[in-house]
Structure 1
């Protein structure tokens, strides 16, 4: 690893058009899982000016049965979509939860896919798709996340909280942030640049109102980031294009799954390429990425490494992973191969099969809308939510390595 370097990560708010799409898709996942824990969902969302379109494949008792929609299901789906947009805060002429047009093109899941995924006879449930998934953890922040992404998320979370509470009424939903940190010997020592572009009410692009907006953003940054990282040399770019009144789906079309680096590790770790939102947990794009993060985080939390990358690989219809790879980037206290063996020996992980992952992390529940903005990782586990952020595997790993 280089001893001195700059690194940057970005985040986008819940009002970013792609994140609006992610949240709608995951709200549909939650709706279906609340009806049927074994539901199969692959829901993609398009958002643009005054329009939301759903497309994808489903199977769900109580919603879609015998090749058709159950009475009231279509109305409940549309209500879920509109409520999601309303909760984000869109009541603009170009995108309004009440008046937008809605199209639903969800249809039945392919029987050929279903036969590969479903358990039958002596066959265990198979993976919902082929692919590679990565998990990552490092000791740069208390939540064991890359610092650049962690602070990018926290800036936007605070701004969104202030917008919803009325503390910052000049803010509109669509916002982006970017944090550049200088690292010395792998440790973040200074913020060299902060970028925040936020949609705003009319008039906040000049004069005293513009100065008020800039001062507000700098205060949020100061509240969120450690004081030791900020200095007079930190460069701020706040709404560098000037005006930002037109935003959200009215300003730029949104699609599910276009912010997968924001969703994961901000570019500090590899990504397998598969999106998370809109997918039920039989899709290993989602569930295996969650268990990979869980494993990496517990490895770092156990003091076995300062940085850890995990890779898992699956084939559609096959239950057992094709490979497990551990890389502690030269920071491990034991060999990476020993950690791989320890993981494979822990029975509660269920062999890292799709069913084993879902059982251990409790994924067959309506828990996904909360994941769809401000990152799937580095969040506080609470009840059923963000179970993959728990560090309850630490003692098992230590015992397996003893």
Structure 2
């Protein structure tokens, strides 16, 4: 058991337990299927034209996939085959779906605000924000991923369910499913996982008791490794059968799993979805940059928890707000001092963020499912030397 749990019995008596819940969903969940399709379209555009402007929305329902949005690019994405390939990869038969595509160019008003005509000598890399909005990044020292423990547990469970299905270790599992992890906290310390809810699609003749035993043997030990889960209540398919899944059972839309994509109930969300948007849309790039800054502050031991909030106005390059909240866990300086240091140490313009995090690379299909944060191969998850930042703290 990790040292973080060693002193839970010595907590002050006046600290009342609190409970937090995190959720994650499988790739075949209708909403996640839509996110995957949208990000695959984005990646295909970026492969051939890194300057592509993409705002792709997808709807999936019984026998029907609709792709719509604004795309300005020199690439020629084959949307119909992208949809078919994504359906097949997730575990659905493309022949079961009619595909409609309604794509047009980006609004000239938005395009002119994002990339205005430049005066002589003006920086060609200047980009205005693709929209107004608020973006939040969060990090804490509960796990090696610098994420809250129930968030990590939920993501692990979904990843292991996917692997077990694709490798045939548990062939009864279907492509659709979701998990929910509830954890008890004493103060800011995670004490124990109390309840896990798993709803997963399965074959018509699957025995749920047998499926539970397979999950108990192959998934739970890995999912909860290093976590206090000795007394957890696990509920498998509490509604009973889950045979019909995916778009046949429920309509899906892009951007409808915002808290699954980010930090659950541990941090607020600005409201802007991530998937299907290129990096000039600060809904996405700003959220990635805020996470990058928050994670690096915690990794540098400046704080135990950190929330970074950015706000932008459409067409304007610099953020209209930078806020840092360390929840009283930073001894180096006050939060307003940290916010001022963030403005000095980081280029928070869309162009600066895109350059810092290399966001013109076609990597977005990997973000669409399993959470946008916590996986070290994403550039916004990189931990850097913070000496330059620390030099700005006064």
* Shared fold, TM over 0.5: yes
Q: Secondary structure at the match of 1:126?
A: coil
For structure 1, list consecutive stretches of 5 or more residues without a partner in the other structure: 64-72, 91-95
Distance 1:186 1:167 in 2: 37
Q: Shift in Å at residue 227 of structure 1?
A: 5.6
The TM-score, its normalising length taken from structure 2, stands at 0.92
For structure 2, list consecutive stretches of 5 or more residues without a partner in the other structure: 1-13
What's the counterpart of residue 171 of structure 2? 169
Matches within 5 A, 1:251-400: 251-334=249-332, 335-346=334-345, 349-350=346-347, 352-381=348-377, 386-400=378-392
Matches within 5 A, 1:216-255: 216-219=214-217, 220-226=219-225, 229-231=228-230, 233-255=231-253
Distance 1:158 1:218 in 2: 12
Q: Secondary structure at the match of 1:223?
A: helix
Q: Secondary structure at the match of 2:264?
A: coil
What's the counterpart of residue 69 of structure 1? none
What's the counterpart of residue 103 of structure 2? 106
Q: Shift in Å at residue 3 of structure 1?
A: 5.1
Deviation >4 Å, runs of 4+: none
- CA change 1:227–1:109 in 2 (3 A) is closer
- CA change 1:398–1:47 in 2 (3 A) is same
Contact 1:3/1:186 (8 A) holds in 2: no
Q: Shift in Å at residue 211 of structure 1?
A: 1.5
Q: Shift in Å at residue 35 of structure 1?
A: 1.4
Q: Shift in Å at residue 4 of structure 1?
A: 2.3
- CA change 1:228–1:37 in 2 (3 A) is closer
Matches within 5 A, 1:24-63: 24-63=37-76
What's the counterpart of residue 89 of structure 1? 91
Distance 1:391 1:160 in 2: 28
Q: Secondary structure at the match of 2:293?
A: helix
Contact 2:295/2:381 (8 A) holds in 1: yes
Matches within 5 A, 1:85-164: 85-90=87-92, 96-122=93-119, 124-164=126-166
Distance 1:62 1:242 in 2: 46
- Say if 2:213 is the partner of 1:215: yes
Summarize deviations over 1:93-134 as a string: whole Å, max 9, x none.
xxx223421100011111111000014314631000001110
Contact 2:20/2:265 (8 A) holds in 1: no
Contact 2:115/2:128 (8 A) holds in 1: yes
Distance 2:185 2:18 in 1: 5
Distance 2:15 2:56 in 1: 42
Summarize deviations over 1:177-197 as a string: whole Å, max 9, x none.
011111123111111101000
How many residues are aligned here? 374
Distance 1:3 1:360 in 2: 42
Match of 1:192 among 191, 194, 200: 194
The TM-score, its normalising length taken from structure 1, stands at 0.90
CA RMSD of aligned residues (A): 1.5
Q: Secondary structure at the match of 1:267?
A: helix
- Say if 2:8 is the partner of 1:11: no
Q: Secondary structure at the match of 2:95?
A: coil
Q: Shift in Å at residue 393 of structure 1?
A: 4.6
Summarize deviations over 1:135-190 as a string: whole Å, max 9, x none.
00011111100111111010010010111111111000001101111112311111
Q: Secondary structure at the match of 1:311?
A: strand
Distance 2:74 2:88 in 1: 27
Distance 2:351 2:225 in 1: 41
